A and B are shown apart, each in its own frame.
Chain A
Amino acid sequence: DAGVIQSPRHEVTEMGQEVTLRCKPISGHNSLFWYRQTMMRGLELLIYFNNNVPIDDSGMPEDRFSAKMPNASFSTLKIQPSEPRDSAVYFCASSLRQGSYNEQFFGPGTRLTVL
């Protein structure tokens, strides 16, 4: 079975450019999460969706970040304009439903470098 799929795996861009990260959750999962991981701050939840609806975006750093989930099989995280401090590994995860007892399945991540 295919797990969570993320693309691209690596992205190098220049400051000011728009960056779009993509995620395909596991089929049948109803909840989708976007995380950012850095050495300094660890794994931070940016936003999560239940049944394609954004539930909690309090972790989104600022207006430069936006996320969409147009259907159950696809989500995007967009950064516009990008800044060097956005450099991190971005993970997408999905679960059968949102809740503390539900295992989150993580994708392999997108390593973003903003020069």
Chain B
Amino acid sequence: TQLLEQSPQFLSIQEGENLTVYCNSSSVFSSLQWYRQEPGEGPVLLVTVVTGGEVKKLKRLTFQFGDARKDSSLHITAAQPGDTGLYLCAGAIWKNRDDKIIFGKGTRLHILP
């Protein structure tokens, strides 16, 4: 069974602080995506990382794909209340000539003003 574990499950921090959330698995992924979901809405794609060791930046968000393509991290600098939401990672595993997408359960982030 391929599992994507995200940590922490919940995180509540003050505005302006930095934070890192993690996505880990024993499986190797062909790519990994991060989504953010706000209450009452569906997830929205933030980034896709493909190459081991790849780093992508999206304003104050920095995404890293592990060298072995089994894990990823999301670092937020100077968190703002607008960053509040559920952050989901989704890994793609090549299986039966097709990619199977597996989602983690997410990290629920709350930024206090």
Interface with B: A13-21, A61-69, A78-86, A105-113, which one? A105-113
How far, in angstroms, from A42 to B23 measured CA to CA in the complex?
14
Which residues of A have CB within 8 Å of B98? Answer: 55-56, 98
Q: Are A45 and B101 in contact (CB under 8 A)?
A: yes
The tally of residues in B whose CB lies under 8 Å from a CB in A reads 24
Q: How far is the CB of A99 from chain B (nearest CB, A)?
A: 5
A34 interface contact, C-beta 8 A: no
Given contacts A100-B30, A101-B50, contact A4 B42 (CB under 8 A): yes
Q: Which residues of A contact B101 (CB under 8 A)?
A: 45, 100, 104
Set of chain A residues within 8 Å of B94, measured between Cβ atoms:
100
* Contacts A99-B99, A100-B31 given; does A42 touch B42 at CB 8 Å: no
Interface set, chain B 42-89, CB cutoff 8 A to A: 42-45, 48, 50, 88
Q: Given A55-B98, A100-B92, A100-B99: A106 and B44 within 8 A (CB)? A: yes
Q: Which of A41, A43, A99, A109 has the most CB of B within 10 A?
A: A43
A45 and B94 CA atoms in complex are apart in Å by: 16
Check A103/B45 contact, CB under 8 A, given A42-B106, A108-B40: yes
Is the CB–CB distance between A109 and B106 below 8 Å?
A: no
A101 touches B42 (CB 8 A): no
**Contact A42-B48, Cβ < 8 Å, known A56-B98, A100-B92, A106-B43:** no
Interface residues in chain B, defined as those with a beta carbon under 8 Å from any beta carbon in chain A:
29-31, 33, 40-45, 48, 50, 88, 92, 94, 98-106
Supply 24 A–B pairs (Cβ within 8 Å), ascending by A: A35-B103, A42-B104, A42-B106, A43-B105, A43-B106, A44-B103, A56-B100, A93-B42, A99-B99, A100-B30, A100-B31, A100-B94, A101-B50, A103-B48, A106-B41, A106-B42, A106-B43, A106-B44, A107-B42, A108-B40, A108-B41, A108-B42, A109-B40, A109-B42
